[in-house]
Amino acid sequence: MYCYDCGDVITTENETEEHILLNAIGGKLYSKKIICIECNSKFGSNIDDTLAAQLNPISNLLNIKRDRGVPPNIKGRYKNRDILIEPGGRIKLFRPYLEKDENSFRIETSTEAQARKVLKGLKRNNPEIDIEEQLKNATKSKKYLEAVKVDMEFGGEETRRAICKMALNFYLLNEGSPEDIQHLIPYIKGCEDDAEIFFYYPHTETFYKDEKEILHTLILVGEPQHKHLYVYIELFNEFKMIIFINKNYQGQPIYSSYHYNVVTNEVVEFEEMVKIPFQQLKKYKSKNLDQKVFGVRLRQLFQRIDNITVARRINEITTSSIREMEDKYPRDKHPIITKEMTRFLADRVSKEFVLSFQHRLKF
């Protein structure tokens, strides 16, 4: 195999693991046979980092599995408070909040350590403050917020270049000729300003997905009848783009697809080909993102994520409550479940359910 940029033979000494789908968004598809390590370093990581950052709110809420680390926290806003959302949707204050009047002060923090630090600062001008007494009398509470605002965007040249690189890599993974993609390399490197890359939002789904499926999809299509060679990309079901490799294609028909479910971390096989009608392709591809249509699709995605998160939370509540019951009533001493144990379990489950779902987020 040869590096598609410099043309050198790829060996064990110069090979590099190139992710076809970014690992930062849960991609597991990669190749060591399409680009050498020196050329890969010339592309830089800026375009991939930009795409990963734009999709991080989705990666965060789904707690995407990555080879290294976890998705970064995302910053949100709840009423007049800045908050941090941790992977999986757990929330904490972005920083401590202090409210003072003439006779009292109120501290709101996520941890006791933060509260202690704020109290130490206050004690400098208020030596009468007993830090340990204040911490002892502090009110600890846990609640689920009604609605959190998170800013999110998708698009821009850096993102388009990253998507183009993804398409190019998938074409080469399927034994496409490096000669066919040479005209796209300057664009990916930022040396040219445009390429045949389009947003694609038809009025109906391109293919059916189960309610529990959130997929990354790559589809390579060669249609000599219409002289089109392109890659269709869907990220998290709703970030959809078409990348044309050749609009004067005269080779053999080509079809290759890859679908990865980021919820179950499994490759999904489709028995039938995913077909995009030529007229529909012409009608719904666009250089500009239709913000209205995209907003509707994004709300549907968040609703699907919410449903998946709820299912996960129900499983967590049930599992943890059973574990608490077994800790309180060891099996060796309580081989048979009693009414007392049942009441304990029901009480734990009901309290967590109320706490988790009394303010269900509506989209």
User: Mean pLDDT across the chain, nearest whole number?
Assistant: 90
How far is it, in rounded angstroms, from Cα 260 to Cα 294?
22
Tell me the pLDDT tens digit for each residue of 116-160: 999 999 999 889 999 999 999 988 877 666 678 888 889 999 999
H-helix or E-strand spanning residue 318: helix 291-328
What does 186-228 look like in DSSP terms, one character per residue? HHHHTSSS--SEEEE--SS-SS---TT--EEEEEEEEETTTTE
* Residue 352 per-residue DSSP state: H
- Give the mean pLDDT of 196-217: 92
State which amino acid sits at residue 84: L
Kindly indicate the confidence band of residue 28, based on its pLDDT and cuts at 50, 70 and 90.
very high
* pLDDT at position 43 over 60: yes
SS3 78: strand
At 224 the pLDDT is: 95
Kindly indicate the confidence band of residue 14, based on its pLDDT and cuts at 50, 70 and 90.
very high
At 116 the pLDDT is: 93
At 203 the pLDDT is: 84
* pLDDT at position 216 over 90: yes
* pLDDT at position 68 over 90: no
* pLDDT at position 355 over 80: no
* pLDDT at position 240 over 90: yes
Give yes or no for a contact between 262 and 24, defined as CB atoms under 8 angstroms apart. Answer: no
How far is it, in rounded angstroms, from Cα 265 to Cα 236?
13
Kindly indicate the confidence band of residue 310, based on its pLDDT and cuts at 50, 70 and 90.
confident
Give yes or no for a contact between 235 and 22, defined as CB atoms under 8 angstroms apart. Answer: no
Task: Provide the percentage of residues in the chain whose pLDDT is more than 90.
Answer: 63
Tell me the pLDDT tens digit for each residue of 271-304: 899 999 999 999 999 999 988 888 888 888 988 9
For the chain, what are the domain ranges?
Answer: 92-137, 155-286, 292-357
Tell me the pLDDT tens digit for each residue of 85-124: 888 877 888 999 998 887 888 999 988 999 999 999 999 9
Question: Vertex 318, ends 317 and 322: CA angle to 5°?
Answer: 115
Kindly indicate the confidence band of residue 362, based on its pLDDT and cuts at 50, 70 and 90.
very low
At 144 the pLDDT is: 66
At 357 the pLDDT is: 64
* pLDDT at position 361 over 60: no
- Give the mean pLDDT of 230-236: 97
Tell me the pLDDT tens digit for each residue of 257-274: 999 999 999 999 998 999
* pLDDT at position 309 over 90: no
- Residue 241 has φ and ψ, to the nearest 5°, of -145, 155
